[in-house]
Structure 1
Amino acid sequence: MTESDRKNPKKKSLFPLVLVLLAIGAVTYAIWRTETSPRTDDAYAFADTVSIVPEVSGRIIEMKVRDNQLVKPGDVLFQIDPRPFEAALNVSKNQLLVLDKQIELTQRSVNAQALNARSVNANVEAARANAQQAADSLKRIEPLLGQGFASAEEVDRARTAQKASQAQLQAALLQGQTAVAGIQGVDAIIAQKSVIEAQMEAESLRLEYATVTAPFMGRVTSLDTKVGQYVSPAKAVFTLIDAEEWYVMANFREGDLKDVRPGTRATVYLLSDTKRTYEAEVDSIAWGVNPSEGNSLLGGLPRVSKSINWVHVSQRFPVKVKVLEPDPELFRLGASATVILHKNSAR
């Protein structure tokens, strides 16, 4: 024992107490830190992906991209042989030209038939008037035959005139129906034109689909197709990873999710460069997971495991965190990450 310790024995007795207080403070701070800023390294980078599937079938004649290349919206990815679609479009264009000429000639005929129809309508009205006059004359003369004021010959002439005028009326009506049918004949040809125009629009669209472009800025991945490969809408050519919006899927214990909601601020680290941090915010929280143990239904009855877990392990729920300013050179789909949530803090 030193001379100072003999003079001040309380100094030695306080040292263990200070160590205990420091340990309690450290534990308290760790618990507080865990409660307010839960952390997990069970996380990975995630981005939306799109399978690039052609809208039309054909043979690839030009591949504009390579695997893992970064492409911008509108960049040509690959070109399908457009010749079959161009040929079909040219056939429809020629059919449309022929139909236009046919419509022009038919329209001239229809115009003439329309004039004829107006003339025939006038004849119909005249024939109808003659028929009505002949019928009226017959009605007046027939009663006079019994009274001796009209001869049988006059009655016969009136009957003959009435029948003749009726026949003329029927003939005029048939001519009118024929003229109307001629006018309506061009409508069917115009309807055919509408069908061909719709067919041309569809063929133009197929020709446009022969050139496949990027829908957004992304990374090409899983490209194992070359020029000469026959492709169809039934199979994807490769996958495009969205390079503009990145997320981190982090699995947090259920006890850490209290007071965590969409918009809660977060900090993200990537294992590839732990010195850099990225600001982020909670996008959404999963509402369910498939438990690996516990009760399940078997034949409509609950099945309970016979084993007892003495140590209860908390369930983990995926939390989708949106990275605000991701580095496109570091973020890769599935990259390991660490996420820290800042409870009661939102952007």
Structure 2
Amino acid sequence: MEALKEELVREASPVSATEPLNPPSTQTADGAAQEANPTLPAPVALQDRDQVAVLSQGQSIRPRRFVPQVLLATAKRLTTLVLALVAVLISLLAWDSYLTAPWTRDGRVRVQVASVAPEISGRIKDLRVADNQFVRKGDVLFVIDPFDFNLALHGSKAMLQQRAADLQVKERQSERQRKLSSVATTPEQQQIYAGNAIQAEAAFEAAQYQVALAEINLKRTEVRSPVNGYVTNLLLRAGDYARQGVTNVSIIDTDSFWIDGYFEETKMSHVCTGARVEAKLMGYSAPIVGHVNTITRGLSVSNAAAGAQGLPNVDPIYTWVRLAQRVPVRIAIDEVPPGVPLVSGMTATVTVRDNSAADHSWLFSARASLFNVLGSPPANPDCISPVIDSEPGQSVPAWEAQATPDPEQINPGLATDIQASPR
């Protein structure tokens, strides 16, 4: 039995079998002590070259490199702690960026639409555009049948010639009566002929206006585009009757595109007029570059509307849940990348970039994010003030009632004894 134990100890020991760790007498004594007292620990073979080879009764393990192992364990704990703190900080910054960073996915492409309506009524003779066709300012959209307006123009010109001949006759009669002596004619007759000449002159001027109006109406038979853009939702066709003042063609003004970004009120402290903006449309990776043009200063409040019997109508809310209102911000488009079409109504992700990125380093951004987490964000020096104070001494001019002009200034030569007031 003793020989078997000794063989096992030598095989487990990293030391060569030719150099036993303990003399045979010591091993025999240890074996005898183990048999006499079974509670004593048996000899244990250690494979670590930095420790004592065999642990026997009354002996203890003492590592040769105890201090480096302690330092290594401490370094591991510190590294784990630092990584955990960095992860927490990154999570806080990401959460703060999601809550307060000036960006929104609620953006819409907007455009002005020109509603074209004819200024005269008539049947459409020729339709010269198609749906979604690009037109330039001044291009003819459709033509109204000009037959009736040609007749009106010729009739107005004939009436003008008649009024011109009548005026010539009346002026000659008035001139002849004026040259006659007082024996051949009376002052009353002279005034009558002079009045007839004045009436003929007024009729001649009215005929001139009728001719001008007929010429304008004839030109209005060609309805032209007022802007550069695309014809949209065209339902008109040749033969339809166009009514004066009724819209029948809509044109998207391609020179008036802008983007409306609806930002949450928690992010409005970082939205400044003039700030650089990038907007990405769904399906297109290239961003549209623009700048903040204006910020809406008013939103509709449902509580302001009076309820039944004129009493206030206050909507109930949950005190632990508050939804942030969205403020419309108008963004002017500066640059559109090639291949990105602008279609009114498309959704966009709008991000407001720092207007002075050269002045604000990453340290400023980190400080701003940290203060946002703590609840007191620093003011952005580039933002507009919430209230624009008027200059000293500047006020709205008061309305002054103008004095009634003298009748002599209105119509020189008016008799003073004529009563112009209504009876």
Q: For 2:306, which of 281, 297, 313 is the aligned residue? A: 297
Establish whether residue 241 from structure 1 lines up as the match of residue 252 from structure 2: yes
Establish whether residue 109 from structure 1 lines up as the match of residue 173 from structure 2: yes
CA contact (8 A) 1:76 1:213 kept: yes
Superposed CA RMSD in Å reads 2.9
Distance 1:219 1:308 in 2: 48
Aligned to 1:128: none
Q: What's the CA shift string for 1:257-304, capped at 9, x where partnerless?
A: 12534322211111131x211211122222233356x68632333344
Q: Where do 1:212-231 residues align within 5 Å?
A: 212-231=223-242
Alpha-carbon distance change, 280 to 85 in structure 1, aligned in 2, over 3 angstroms? same
Q: Structure 1: any 5+ residue segments left out of the alignment?
A: 124-171
Aligned length, in residue pairs: 290
Alpha-carbon distance change, 31 to 265 in structure 1, aligned in 2, over 3 angstroms? farther
Q: For 1:21, which of 78, 81, 85 is the aligned residue? A: 85
Distance 2:197 2:314 in 1: 79
Q: Secondary structure at the match of 1:114?
A: helix
Aligned to 1:49: 113
Distance 1:41 1:19 in 2: 32
Distance 1:52 1:101 in 2: 42
Residue 112 of structure 1, CA deviation = 2.3
Q: What's the CA shift string for 1:205-246, capped at 9, x where partnerless?
A: 222221111111111111111000001134311211110121
Aligned to 2:412: none
Higher relative contact order, structure no. (Cα contacts within 8 Å, ≥ 6 residues apart): 1
Task: Kindly provide the amino acid, as one letter, of the partner of residue 320 in structure 1.
Answer: R
CA contact (8 A) 1:246 1:326 kept: no
Distance 2:186 2:317 in 1: 98
CA contact (8 A) 1:225 1:237 kept: yes
Q: Secondary structure at the match of 1:96?
A: helix
Aligned to 2:206: 195
Establish whether residue 281 from structure 1 lines up as the match of residue 345 from structure 2: no
CA contact (8 A) 1:5 1:11 kept: no
Distance 1:45 1:306 in 2: 34
Distance 1:22 1:203 in 2: 82
Residue 176 of structure 1, CA deviation = 3.0
Task: Kindly provide the amino acid, as one letter, of the partner of residue 323 in structure 1.
Answer: I
Q: Report which stretch shifted further, 253-262 or 294-303.
A: 294-303
CA contact (8 A) 1:37 1:342 kept: no
Q: What's the CA shift string for 1:285-338, capped at 9, x where partnerless?
A: 22233356x686323333444562532211111111111134696000101111
Aligned to 2:29: none
Distance 1:199 1:106 in 2: 21
Residue 57 of structure 1, CA deviation = 0.7
Aligned to 2:343: 332
Q: Structure 2: any 5+ residue segments left out of the alignment?
A: 1-49, 51-67, 357-381, 383-423
Aligned to 2:157: 93
Q: Where do 1:1-347 residues align within 5 Å?
A: 8-27=72-91, 29-30=93-94, 33=97, 37-116=101-180, 119-120=181-182, 123=183, 175-273=186-284, 275-291=285-301, 297-298=306-307, 299-305=309-315, 308=318, 310-326=320-336, 330-345=341-356
CA contact (8 A) 1:60 1:231 kept: yes
Q: Report which stretch shifted further, 317-326 or 99-108.
A: 99-108
Alpha-carbon distance change, 5 to 103 in structure 1, aligned in 2, over 3 angstroms? farther
CA contact (8 A) 2:119 2:245 kept: no
CA contact (8 A) 1:253 1:314 kept: yes
- Percent sequence identity is 28
Residue 61 of structure 1, CA deviation = 0.8
Distance 2:314 2:191 in 1: 84
Distance 2:256 2:129 in 1: 21
Q: After the TM superposition, which segments of 4 or more aligned residues of structure 1 sit over 6 Å from their partners?
A: 3-7
Q: Report which stretch shifted further, 256-265 or 71-80.
A: 256-265
Task: Kindly provide the amino acid, as one letter, of the partner of residue 317 in structure 1.
Answer: V
Alpha-carbon distance change, 200 to 296 in structure 1, aligned in 2, over 3 angstroms? closer
Q: Secondary structure at the match of 1:205?
A: helix
CA contact (8 A) 2:160 2:211 kept: no
Structure with the higher strand share, 1 or 2: 1
Task: Kindly provide the amino acid, as one letter, of the partner of residue 236 in structure 1.
Answer: T
Task: Kindly provide the amino acid, as one letter, of the partner of residue 276 in structure 1.
Answer: A
Task: Kindly provide the amino acid, as one letter, of the partner of residue 64 in structure 1.
Answer: R
Task: Kindly provide the amino acid, as one letter, of the partner of residue 71 in structure 1.
Answer: V
